[in-house]
Amino acid sequence: MDPSQTIYATLPMPAEAKAVFERSCKNCHSDETSWPWYSYVAPVSWVIARDVHQARKAMNLSEWGGYSANQKTDKLEEICEQVTNGDMPDRKYTLIHRPARLTAKERDLICQWSEDSREY
């Protein structure tokens, strides 16, 4: 992983927004997955490995710098959409990982940040 390519290194982000990504998204959407104990137990391990693989493919916060300007804009729009309609963080995950759930205030914060960031 190249630290200069992370979303944090390539986009200005307030500490509160970064905290949300770190708490609720990075386990699936980055190269810095910390695997909980239950991820080693089948069949949970199969589901989680597949999810993380797909999640990184869809959006990898560790490789943000590699996206084109268009891809970045798309993903920033998607981020706001997905957290607003409650699709992200993934429900399977928040069920077993309750602290990952977002408050209404955090959803607003992420959307505001993603809107502000589309100019970059």
Under the rule (CB under 6 A), what is the footprint of ligand HEC?
24-25, 27-29, 51, 54-55, 58-59, 74-75, 78-79, 82-83, 88-90, 93, 100
Which is closer to ligand HEC, CB of 9 or CB of 95? 95
Q: Are 91 and 47 in contact (CB under 8 A)?
A: no
The DSSP symbol for 96 reads H
Which is closer to ligand HEC, CB of 62 or CB of 82? 82
Q: Report the nearest approach of ligand HEC to the CB of residue 70 (Å).
A: 11
- Looking at residue 95, its amino acid is L
Which is closer to ligand HEC, CB of 2 or CB of 71? 71
Q: Report the nearest approach of ligand HEC to the CB of residue 29 (Å).
A: 5
- Looking at residue 84, its amino acid is T
Q: Closest Cα partner for 10 from 57, 75, 55, 56? A: 75
CA 82/CA 109 separation, integer angstroms: 13
CA 11/CA 13 separation, integer angstroms: 6
Which is closer to ligand HEC, CB of 64 or CB of 93? 93
Q: Report the nearest approach of ligand HEC to the CB of residue 112 (Å).
A: 13
